[in-house]
Chains A and B, each alone.
Chain A
């Protein structure tokens, strides 16, 4: 039994009923008729594995898990794609890396244990952090995004600042690791399992060294990777991993959070890693609703049906991605909201990139704000 057969068995691909619901819902298949999850599944079951591994369409998948949600047979298509990509990576196949593969290179450089990063420059004096304590805050790649995407006016580091600000508001001084690395999410989902394991092992030991009991994460990708994939590949962190929205929702009931009044109308984009992967749909909404005066206009496709931001893991960003982004932005704009709120920095990057385009129509232009930043700004 080769690795693909194992993957077929593990991800229940052989349960496929050939119903085609996956293809009918897939945002890629809607716009690129060549691509079809059903066809990939049936070619994996019936066709040659060698051909499957060399298929360029393998890299088109957004791994957004939309199809998994619809599948009547519970086929884990996204995980199947991940396993097949790992096998394809072994024979030298890779997706078309956006930005010339720069971000993949950065992640691979980060696998080196001797690295001494200068990643804490954003901690200004008004933010209180501790050397040790109960809570650990995992920043992720935010400082790198700001340095690399200079043309998008990102300021993703404000997410980290906001998270610390919120925690401080709740009387918590989080520990922040100086030597934290990329969680490895993108390497894992592009088939570079070796370097993912290197990063994960490093992060695992660093996180354990801090001695904290609870790990707060603001990035949905880091969250799923740390919570779901680390135990699977390198071992359990041995602490509670909490997304900042979960943490806020807990504190909401205690009435610890007091918000300023606001008259804005917002709409919320469910990041796939937070929503479909982790089932966190309601917590962010509860908090948004708790902000006095803030009106949440839901998009037509929300929660389980929320459409992906068009690209994932920095590969195969193309005209289909652009169409997905434009369609989603138009959908957001049509709700009449002033702000599109998303919890994922990558959704922010991708949407901002799409809006930054030269020929983009006015219908798509909507201000984008991060969920954590929104909460921090609304605190009294």
Chain B
């Protein structure tokens, strides 16, 4: 841990973003080559497709933050997707709280497909917050085998 803290200044958080095809993806696809190296995104048709299991999966695999990028209320391409997305986000948030994972590591950002600046600014903000929070200490070292029959 101490080693990690010393390196904090150079730490670039690994992020998985789940991206709505109709809003944020329209912006991200134009700028994906400008994204920081550790910022990955997964496109889905609607953010409502992302249930908590994918968020946990990402954390299980050791990401430092998960970003959900969906539509603002009333702008969902499917009308009800953002409501479901919020429900899933809340469930995930509650469970992450129980696990003791900092709430800063999971964020839902709602942008319409033209809010270029809002998206970029909130992404920057998210990255900066994660830099402050530090690396995810919950990554499992699966390379070490603990079981011998």
**B interface bracket (residues with beta carbon within 8 Å of A):** 20 to 34
B residues 130-149 in Cβ contact with A at 8 Å: 137-140, 142, 145-147, 149
Residue of chain A at shortest CB distance from B141:
A112
B1 touches A (CB below 8 Å) = yes
Q: Which of the 9-residue segments B35-43, B52-60, B64-72, B73-81 touches chain A?
A: B52-60
Distance from A144 Cβ to chain B, minimum over Cβ atoms (Å) = 6
Q: Select B139's contact among A112, A119, A197, A201, beta carbons within 8 Å.
A: A112
Q: Which of the 9-residue segments B10-18, B20-28, B90-98 touches chain A?
A: B90-98
Taking a contact as CB atoms under 8 Å apart, the answer to whether B98 and A144 are in contact is: yes
Q: Select B54's contact among A100, A148, A194, beta carbons within 8 Å.
A: A100
CA A143 – CA B53 in complex, angstroms? Answer: 17
A interface residues with partner B (beta carbon < 8 Å)? 3, 6, 99-102, 105-106, 108-112, 114-119, 143-144, 147-148, 150, 193-195, 197-198, 201, 233
Closest 7 CB pairs of A and B: A100-B53, A102-B53, A105-B56, A116-B100, A147-B94, A112-B138, A114-B137
Distance from A228 Cβ to chain B, minimum over Cβ atoms (Å) = 17
Taking a contact as CB atoms under 8 Å apart, the answer to whether B146 and A198 are in contact is: yes
Taking a contact as CB atoms under 8 Å apart, the answer to whether B57 and A105 are in contact is: yes
| 24 A-B pairs with C-beta separation under 8 A | A3-B149, A99-B53, A100-B52, A100-B53, A105-B53, A105-B60, A106-B95, A108-B60, A109-B59, A109-B99, A114-B138, A115-B138, A118-B98, A118-B99, A144-B98, A147-B91, A147-B95, A147-B97, A147-B98, A148-B52, A150-B87, A194-B145, A194-B146, A198-B146
Taking a contact as CB atoms under 8 Å apart, the answer to whether A197 and B146 are in contact is: yes
CA A106 – CA B92 in complex, angstroms? Answer: 11
Q: Determine the chain A residues whose CB is within 8 A of the CB of B142 once the complex forms.
A: 194
B51 touches A (CB below 8 Å) = yes
Distance from B50 Cβ to chain A, minimum over Cβ atoms (Å) = 10
Q: Determine the chain A residues whose CB is within 8 A of the CB of B59 once the complex forms.
A: 105, 109
Contacts A99-B53, A102-B53, A144-B98: A108 and B147 contacting too (C-beta < 8 A)? no
**15 additional contacts (CB under 8 A) given A100-B51, A117-B100, A148-B91:** A99-B53, A101-B57, A102-B52, A106-B99, A114-B137, A114-B138, A115-B100, A115-B137, A117-B98, A144-B98, A148-B52, A148-B95, A150-B87, A198-B140, A233-B147
Taking a contact as CB atoms under 8 Å apart, the answer to whether A106 and B56 are in contact is: yes
Distance from B48 Cβ to chain A, minimum over Cβ atoms (Å) = 13
Q: Which of B52, B94, B146 has the most CB of A within 10 A?
A: B146
Distance from A183 Cβ to chain B, minimum over Cβ atoms (Å) = 16
Q: Determine the chain B residues whose CB is within 8 A of the CB of A99 once the complex forms.
A: 51, 53
Q: Which of B54, B60, B87, B149 has the most CB of A within 10 A?
A: B60
Q: Determine the chain B residues whose CB is within 8 A of the CB of A195 once the complex forms.
A: 140
Residue of chain B at shortest CB distance from A119:
B98
Residue pairs across A and B with CB atoms within 8 Å: the count is 78
Distance from A341 Cβ to chain B, minimum over Cβ atoms (Å) = 27
Distance from B123 Cβ to chain A, minimum over Cβ atoms (Å) = 25
Residue of chain B at shortest CB distance from A100:
B53
Taking a contact as CB atoms under 8 Å apart, the answer to whether B53 and A117 are in contact is: no
Taking a contact as CB atoms under 8 Å apart, the answer to whether A6 and B149 are in contact is: yes
Q: Determine the chain B residues whose CB is within 8 A of the CB of A100 once the complex forms.
A: 51-54
CA A3 – CA B138 in complex, angstroms? Answer: 32
Residue of chain A at shortest CB distance from B51:
A100
Q: Determine the chain A residues whose CB is within 8 A of the CB of B97 once the complex forms.
A: 118, 147
CA A118 – CA B103 in complex, angstroms? Answer: 12
Q: Select B138's contact among A109, A197, A233, beta carbons within 8 Å.
A: A109
Taking a contact as CB atoms under 8 Å apart, the answer to whether B98 and A197 are in contact is: no
CA A150 – CA B51 in complex, angstroms? Answer: 13
Q: Determine the chain A residues whose CB is within 8 A of the CB of B147 once the complex forms.
A: 193-194, 197, 233
Distance from A359 Cβ to chain B, minimum over Cβ atoms (Å) = 22
Q: Which of B57, B95, B97, B137 has the most CB of A within 10 A?
A: B95
CA A143 – CA B94 in complex, angstroms? Answer: 10
CA A365 – CA B140 in complex, angstroms? Answer: 43
Q: Determine the chain A residues whose CB is within 8 A of the CB of B57 once the complex forms.
A: 101-102, 105
